[in-house]
Amino acid sequence: MEIVRNQFTILKQICEFIPGHLVAKLAREYGVDKQCRTFDPWSHVVSMVHAQIAHSMSLNDVCDTLRNHSGVLTTMRKAVPPSRNGLSHANKKRNADMAEALFWRTMKSLRRQFPKFGYDHGYCGLPKKFRRAIKAVDSTTIKLIASCIDWAKHRRRKAGAKCHVRLDLQTFMPNMVIIREAKKHDSNFARELCAGLKEGEIVVWDKAYNDFKHLSDLAGRGVFWVNRAKDNMACKTVRKLNAPKGRIIRDIAIRLAGQDTSSEYPEEVRLVEAWVEIKGKLRRMTFITNNFEWSANSVCGLYKARWGIEVFFKQIKQNLQIADFLGNNENAVRWQIWMALLTYLLLRFIEFMAKWKRPFSRLFTLVRGVMWSCLDLFSLLKSYGTAGIKLKMRAAPEQAYLPGFSP
């Protein structure tokens, strides 16, 4: 397929998926418009999206590149290139809640126009027998430099931020994101992450988020949960539910026997212990859930589906720029992480519109390589590789001889 030329660059075509006037509207809501003179909020967003796609490693990297393409920037809703101090000041002072709101409202706008957006992802680890919405909750640590980022110190020589995510495994898109310093324990954010869960939905997480008072509240709301049991969990067996079979070691109903946990969760809990294959090796793992109707294998399958959120973290950390930060204070770090998520959202939408079936990493590298080229984005993606082109193999006598030698 021939690649079609376009009068606009690939970067402009990507930024056009952000709804018009949304940035200006949010800037007024969060008071950002009063903090800018020549470097307006839209130019700020374009600069940060460019920094993500280009993997810019410093302020000079961003500013010099955009200054060299200042003529092209004017076609992007009259964006202007930043100065080094201007971009640094914007990341430091402009409210990062605006970047967060921009991500969620852009997602809402795209979903309103295309309700099927995300459902084409087809995560292979999702249990196919479940028709309920399955959410995975986990966090990833983003390493920061301890010597100059004091607000994120959690050890003597270590600093970091944590990105807590509730991921919809059907769409592979986040439903809830919390960005905080790494020193706070994951269980402190469990309630906030699960605040929007509806009756009948399933949430899966690791034992770091175990809070039995919160688990009792979820069960009372009709939300099903599956998570790993802590090694020191005190409990007593009430009855056996199913006999051991295959890799299932035991399937029993228990009551918590801890001094605090027995009062925090007085109801019965189901405990399933099984051999689970991880990286080709069998590991003995113990799961707890408030559902007594699923088979024991389904409980194990639901927990294995939690690996999808690790794949999501791998996609954003290996492809987007959240390793080298353009600012040191908390607001600048939040700006960059939210812009990374916004860029991920835009590229996932392009993936959906182009019906891209290859890995996300290949889409990212392809877009990065032609960011300033005036090509039609979708014709470029459709012509990539040999997909869609049927080649016929023809056997011929001359193929049996070396080139240059006659038969």
Burial of 89 (0-12, 13-18, 19+ CB in 10 A): middle
User: Taking the mean position of all CA atoms in its chain, how far away is CA 30?
Assistant: 25
Query: Residue 135 and residue 171: Cα distance in Å, rounded?
Result: 10
Query: What's the pLDDT tens digit per position in 303-330?
Result: 988 889 999 999 999 999 988 889 888 8
Average pLDDT of the residues in 32-56 = 93
Give long-range contacts, CB 8 A cutoff, 24+ apart: 36-41: 36/90, 36/94, 38/80, 38/86, 39/80, 39/82, 39/83, 39/86, 39/87, 39/90, 40/80, 41/94, 41/98
Query: What's the pLDDT tens digit per position in 161-209?
Result: 889 999 999 899 999 999 988 888 888 899 999 998 999 999 999 888 8
Beta carbons of 268 and 253 less than 8 angstroms apart: yes
Q: Where are the domains of the chain?
A: 10-100+326-383, 224-305
**DSSP bridge partners of 278:** 281
Q: Could you give the residue ranges of the DSSP H alpha helices within 114-232?
A: 190-193, 212-220
Model pLDDT, residue 1: 55
pTM of this structure: 0.89
Model pLDDT, residue 314: 93
Q: What are phi and psi of 256, to 5 degrees?
A: -70, 140
| Structure tokens belonging to residue 338 | 């939210």
Average pLDDT of the residues in 44-51 = 97
Query: Residue 30 and residue 334: Cα distance in Å, rounded?
Result: 15
Query: What's the pLDDT tens digit per position in 211-237?
Result: 899 999 999 999 999 999 988 899 999
Query: Residue 129 and residue 237: Cα distance in Å, rounded?
Result: 29
Q: Is the pLDDT of residue 149 over 70?
A: no
Mean pLDDT score across all residues of the chain: 88
Query: What's the pLDDT tens digit per position in 357-385?
Result: 899 999 999 999 999 999 999 999 988 76
Model pLDDT, residue 28: 95
Query: What's the pLDDT tens digit per position in 87-115?
Result: 999 999 999 999 999 999 999 999 999 99
Model pLDDT, residue 394: 44
Model pLDDT, residue 148: 58
